[in-house]
Structure 1
Amino acid sequence: MSEFVLKPLGELVRGREPGCGMPGEVFSRPDVFETDIDIFFHQHWIMVGVTADVPEPGDVSVVDIGKASVIIVRDDDENIRAYRNVCRHRGARLKEAGKSTVGMLVCPYHQWTYDLDGSLRHAKHMGKDFDATCRNLRPVHLKVVGTHVFVCFADEPPADIAKLEETMAPRFAPYELQNTKIAFESEIIEDGNWKLVMENNRECYHCEAGHPELTMSFIPESTSSSADGMDEEGIKALDAYNKLNAETQANWESEGWLCSAVEELSGDVATHFRTERLMIGGDGESQTIDTKVACQKLLGNLTRRDLGDTHMWTHNSWTHVMSDHAMISYIIPLTPEKTLCRTKWLVHADAVEGVDYDVTKLTEVWVATNAQDASLVAINHRGAQDPGYIPGPYSPSTENYVDQFVGWYAGRLKAHGI
């Protein structure tokens, strides 16, 4: 009997039938998972938090991604910095994952002590010839866009983060997202591969049946790329949405609000992202059950409530910014079958809980949606591991962005020699 040989990852992905999903082993093999971490989470820009995670000097947020760990800290001059979470002595972790407040960063092993600017300030018993300036903490590339904290562990990070920054900075600017606080945050460990989590986020084929709370405010047609494959009722709904959306965007644009879709999802792009100002259903104010604002104190100095949803996707995050709050989620792969999803709800820094906003109203849509998505990802992951699974075709009208994500994934593997 011949010995079973695993196909190389690149062959598996690029060998998929066009317009269909990837084979199940891409979501479960340990070697694929390690490759994913190395390429997509250590060599690309990833979101690891928001500025409100470190609101004051000395505040620290530590995020572990695979074997790597990054310290995000706000220094005494209010700058946000990022460092490798590795002591320059013998490599001990300086801080455990999570948030804390420090005066200086002190290694728990031998008490080497670092200032918040990364410089080594104290290292006892190292002899008169020891040069502390050669042992500062190793910086990690960092970009803050709006409130989003992006890092890249690569020596030479992808330069096209500039396109994301150039696109998103003016869209986020009116909301003054750095003048916000975290009203609520949650963590879910989803029982599925990170790629399935992101694929699920890229389509709303499942929304009508799967997300009753979200569909009170979210319009499924907003993610439909074409009428191809739709029935007559679906085509009418898409036509009505496109007409109303054009009218709404014209109104926004007349007041200077950026609306148009920008897509950097395929081709040779390394920094994968999409943005658009989307309409909100109902009263059109916010992603809440009643579609009205959940926080009476609007973001920035806004006075208009019906500004829709400025959304942004990256390959490990999704963002929805409304006039009253922002909902920001990002993922970290833990194992081939486990993915951490962190979500943060941001409100104006001066908003008062119980006066300006109620936490339940603020969060109930996406608390429910995230839990529902976790269940859907879990059944997707389990089914994709069944020996009887054969990848089926994507819906051309509602799963186009899933197909683009898989195409981008395959392209990045090829770009890295896989």
Structure 2
Amino acid sequence: MSEAQLKTHGELVRRRAPGYGMPGELFGRADVFETDVDVFFHKHWILVGVTADVPEPGDVSTVDIGKASIIIARDDDENIRTYRNVCRHRGARLKGAGKSTVGMLVCPYHQWTYDLDGSLRHTTHMGKDFDVTCRSLIPVNTKIVGTHIFVCLDKNAPEDISRLEQTMAPRFAPYDLQHTKIAFEQEIIENGNWKLVIENNRECYHCQGTHPELTASFLPEDFGFCPENLSEESLVALEEYKSRNAACQASWERDGFVSETVEWLDEDAVTQFRTQQLVIAGAGESQTISTRVASTRLFGNLTRRDLGDTHLWTHNSWTHVMSDHAVISYIIPLAADRTLVRTKWLVHADAVEGVDYNVKDLTEVWLATNTQDKHLVEITHEGTQDPAYVPGVFSPFTEAYVDQFSRWYAARLSAHGIA
């Protein structure tokens, strides 16, 4: 092994200079990856789905996260429950990854049978003294915020999920996101490290050159910019941007929508998140090529189309909620150089395809953006594994959140005795 390969995970993290990218080994090494999964996907709250994944009693969705697997189920009382996907007999997986509908959860090995409330209902050949009451499925810590299903696999789940819940619940409430359906969903595998996927999502320095579909609905100043030596034309545009933002924010607040930016991102955060209500360019209605709504059936009982984009980041997800549809993406790391990205497009539960919306208008912006981001992550991962790679300096104007993510990553590892 080279000297670099012999460095511990903590040493690699400490080697990062403030304001610079991470060492390439943090993206490429298998031992680093295994630790990342354990810390950031088993001990932190992560997004694993939406309530529309299990719309009816008996619907289940199985999600694999590293060596762990969970079952999300809607029970007969329409409550959403989550369990470890492990039979309490000899550990067999109850369900394979994906969605299905069941009456009960039956182990395929010895047919131990569980109710959707997790209780063991049926076994054979176990004798009259066998106590089924202590063999229920293992529950998982779960928080539902809007439509978002967050879980923590650790028994000691971070308590600051309450910050996210208290911040986002009133923002999501007018949209009635639990009364939605999945109009389209996509899974792609990006051949890059999960941290590079998140870093790419945390900046829009690259957006104008690579995301023509996405930038049709964004105001360019929201991408970040260097305020030094701006032209007279740019200064005028900046003042117009500030005026438009202020007017939209004031209008939303008057109508009862909570729109102020909230950040819980720095080293003292455990459950990292950020939310902002972005003004949409053009017609100002939705993240579409035309910037008008893709679905004429708005969420909840909304009547305003021009509600901008309620944006939420966590360390494994990003969400965009407009008046007519929502785009929710989350990631699951598969290997040091492979990351699964799941994206779901939600519309009102009563919206009718071909009448209220068509899938092309609904999806074309983020289908294109996801494809473009996949390429960017992959070429960056390849470059960071090149022997010539030396971490570069971040732009303080457009990549501050990437630097912030790097600091948070180091802080969380330190909290677990690693960095």
On whether the aligned pair clears a TM of 0.5, the verdict is yes
CA–CA separation in structure 2 for the residues paired with 1:2 and 1:265: 35
Q: Secondary structure at the match of 1:47?
A: strand
Assess if the C-alpha contact under 8 Å between 1:328 and 1:345 holds in 2.
yes
Assess if the C-alpha contact under 8 Å between 2:5 and 2:25 holds in 1.
no
Residue 230 of structure 1: how far off its partner (Å): 7.0
- Tell me which residue corresponds to 1:282: 282
- Tell me which residue corresponds to 1:298: 298
- When structure 1 is superposed on structure 2, of 13-22 and 406-415 the one drifting more is 13-22
- Tell me which residue corresponds to 2:244: 244
Relative distance call for 1:3 and 1:176 in structure 2 (3 A) is: closer
Relative distance call for 1:5 and 1:283 in structure 2 (3 A) is: closer
* CA RMSD across the alignment: 1.5
- When structure 1 is superposed on structure 2, of 227-236 and 102-111 the one drifting more is 227-236
- Tell me which residue corresponds to 1:145: 145
Assess if the C-alpha contact under 8 Å between 2:214 and 2:366 holds in 1.
yes
Q: Is 1:54 equivalent to 2:54 in the alignment?
A: yes
Assess if the C-alpha contact under 8 Å between 1:61 and 1:72 holds in 2.
yes
Residue 227 of structure 1: how far off its partner (Å): 3.9
| Pairing of 1:18-417 with structure 2 (within 5 A) | 18-224=18-224, 227=226, 231-232=230-231, 237-417=237-417
Q: Which amino acid aligns with 1:161?
A: I
Residue 267 of structure 1: how far off its partner (Å): 2.4
CA–CA separation in structure 1 for the residues paired with 2:219 and 2:308: 11
Deviant stretches of 4+, over 3 Å = 1-5, 226-240
- When structure 1 is superposed on structure 2, of 127-136 and 88-97 the one drifting more is 127-136
Q: Which amino acid aligns with 1:89?
A: H
- Tell me which residue corresponds to 1:17: 17
Q: Which amino acid aligns with 1:359?
A: V
Q: Secondary structure at the match of 1:213?
A: helix
Residue 242 of structure 1: how far off its partner (Å): 2.5
Residue 208 of structure 1: how far off its partner (Å): 0.3
CA–CA separation in structure 1 for the residues paired with 2:220 and 2:86: 45
Partner deviation per Cα, 1:40-93 (whole Å, 9 max, x = no partner) = 000000000000000000000000000000000000000000000000000000
Residue 254 of structure 1: how far off its partner (Å): 1.6
Q: Which amino acid aligns with 2:397?
A: S
Partner deviation per Cα, 1:190-210 (whole Å, 9 max, x = no partner) = 010000000000000000011
- Unpaired segments ≥5 residues, structure 1: none
CA–CA separation in structure 2 for the residues paired with 1:378 and 1:29: 16
Corresponding residue pairs, total = 417
Q: Which amino acid aligns with 1:61?
A: S
Partner deviation per Cα, 1:236-255 (whole Å, 9 max, x = no partner) = 54443223212221121122
- Unpaired segments ≥5 residues, structure 2: none
Assess if the C-alpha contact under 8 Å between 1:230 and 1:397 holds in 2.
no
Q: What TM-score results when the alignment is normalised by the length of structure 1?
A: 0.97
CA–CA separation in structure 2 for the residues paired with 1:275 and 1:332: 21
Residue 131 of structure 1: how far off its partner (Å): 0.6
CA–CA separation in structure 2 for the residues paired with 1:389 and 1:100: 45
Q: What TM-score results when the alignment is normalised by the length of structure 2?
A: 0.97
Assess if the C-alpha contact under 8 Å between 1:229 and 1:396 holds in 2.
no
Relative distance call for 1:384 and 1:59 in structure 2 (3 A) is: same
| Pairing of 1:3-14 with structure 2 (within 5 A) | 6-14=6-14
CA–CA separation in structure 2 for the residues paired with 1:249 and 1:396: 26
- When structure 1 is superposed on structure 2, of 84-93 and 212-221 the one drifting more is 212-221
Assess if the C-alpha contact under 8 Å between 2:15 and 2:23 holds in 1.
no
Q: Which amino acid aligns with 2:63?
A: V
Partner deviation per Cα, 1:327-348 (whole Å, 9 max, x = no partner) = 0000000000000000000000
Assess if the C-alpha contact under 8 Å between 2:189 and 2:340 holds in 1.
yes
CA–CA separation in structure 2 for the residues paired with 1:230 and 1:193: 37
Residue 15 of structure 1: how far off its partner (Å): 2.1
Q: Secondary structure at the match of 1:142?
A: strand
CA–CA separation in structure 1 for the residues paired with 2:297 and 2:122: 46
Residue 5 of structure 1: how far off its partner (Å): 5.4
